[in-house]
Structure 1
Amino acid sequence: MRLHDELPVDHRLGQVYRYGAGLGGLFLIAFGILGLVGDSPGFIDTTGKQVLGMSSNGALSVLSLVAGGILILGAIIGGNIASDINMIMGVLFVLAGFVGLMVLDSSANRLAFHIGNVVFSFAFGFVILAFGMYGRVSSHLPQDNPYWKRRREHEREREAERPNGPPVLVKVLRPGPPNPTGH
């Protein structure tokens, strides 16, 4: 499925993309600000300090501010842009969860990830990803959904291009095994 601008600008699904991006962005900005204020552990310190139940250092705080700003920018723009941004950011957070899981308790843990950060990255990533995909990706879209209409439009065009028109189902009768009852 191609993800382009099939939805009208004022479609109600745009609110899901916007609110999802906005709330997620606000949380990340709060996390980033709280990680930078007070007793900061250092920019790439591997131990970090506790912020909202997770560990943070200066680098993770700055990355959180940038990610939050991108999500809020998507919420301001709205529409399919917000959906696309949510999907991209969701995938990045899930990947960050995997990377954080790989570097736990090692010297390569430059963002001071602990298990709480890993769980948050997975959960936040999947939630933001779901916000971005809402109404765009499904096998059972309602018929009034613009994506359903768009998909069916391509199918009708392909059928119209066939020289013999739409396919016709033909039942072929084949001789079967002899009937033991004789009927």
Structure 2
Amino acid sequence: MAHNPVNHPARPVYRAIGGLTGLYLAGFGVLGVIENSGAEFFAQNDTLVLGQGANLGYSIISAVVGILVLVGTAIGRNIDTVINKLLGYGFMVLGLASLAVMRTDANFLDFSMSTAIVSMVIGMVLLMAGMYGKIGTEEEVRAWQEARLLL
């Protein structure tokens, strides 16, 4: 997209923020797996990890997503921006869907209100890191600056 900045001066900061978000997700996932070891995969047992509701299924999903974000951050080369954007949109959808099913039997990831809020915040942070972390050629930079001036 021509409206997203290319070679933003704060790109290393956004990349670090994306990496820290991946580290948080991986840590949350590992702690959730430890806390829920021996429980059912999609148990609705109101187990709290770091103040958030989590069962074994959501903990494994968080750990895998966190590792994926960390790998993307380590690789760089705009792979991190694609991963951060896709997973950011995914976390936003997950947070909204969890709000819809929170007090029903369909809450198979055992989300609480705090988990839904954190999911939305993680989605926004990953989107921000993905939108501002892109690197490109001089032609892409000129196209972005021209698009910005037209607005």
TM-score by length of 1: 0.68
Equivalent residue for 1:18?
15
Q: Which runs of structure 1 show a deviation greater than 2 angstroms over 4 or more consecutive aligned residues?
A: 11-14, 38-42, 145-148, 150-154
Q: Structure 1 residues 50, 146: closer, same or farther in 2, change over 3 A?
A: farther
Could you say which residue in structure 2 is the equivalent of 1:79? 77
Tell me, in whole angstroms, the C-alpha distance in 2 between the residues paired with 1:18 and 1:152: 22
Unmatched segments (≥5 aa) in structure 2: none
Unaligned runs of 5+ in 1: 137-144, 155-183
Question: Residue 17 of structure 2 aligns to which amino acid in structure 1?
Answer: G
| Structure 2 counterpart of 1:105, one-letter code | R
Which digits, 9 at most, give the CA deviation of each residue in 1:52-98, with x for residues without a partner?
Answer: 01011110010001110110011111131111211111111000001
Q: Return the alpha-carbon distance in structure 2 between the equivalents of residues 25 and 16 of structure 1.
A: 14
Structure 1 CA distance, aligned partners of 2:65 and 2:36? 23
Q: Alpha carbons of 1:96 and 1:39: their partners in 2 closer, same or farther (altered >3 Å)? A: closer
Task: Report whether the alignment pairs 1:124 with 2:122.
Answer: yes
Contact 1:49–1:57 (Cα < 8 Å) also in 2: yes
Confirm or deny: 8 A CA contact 2:36 2:55 kept in the other structure. Answer: no
Code of the residue aligned with 2:64 in structure 1: it is V
Taking a change above 3 Å as real, the CA distance of residues 16 and 116 of structure 1, as seen in their structure-2 partners, is same
CA separation of 1:151 and 1:66: change in aligned 2, threshold 3 A: same
* 1:111 equivalenced with 2:120 (yes/no): no
Residues 73, 135 of structure 1: CA spacing in aligned structure 2 closer, same or farther, 3 A cutoff?
Answer: closer
How far has the Cα of 1:47 moved from its partner? 2.6
8 Å contact kept, 1:56–1:112: yes
AA at the equivalent of 1:132 = G
- Pick aligned residue for 2:31 from 30, 34, 43: 34
Cα separation, partners in 2 of 1:23 and 1:146, compared to 1, 3 Å = farther
Which residue number in structure 2 is paired with residue 54 of structure 1? 52
Question: For 1:150, which of 127, 131, 143 is the aligned residue?
Answer: 143
Give the aligned length. Answer: 142
Seen in structure 2, the aligned counterparts of structure 1 residues 111 and 81 have a Cα distance that, compared at 3 Å, is same
Contact 2:91–2:119 (CA under 8 A) maintained in structure 1 = yes
Identity of aligned residues (%): 35
- 1:158-181 deviation per Cα after TM superposition (whole angstroms, max 9, x unaligned): xxxxxxxxxxxxxxxxxxxxxxxx
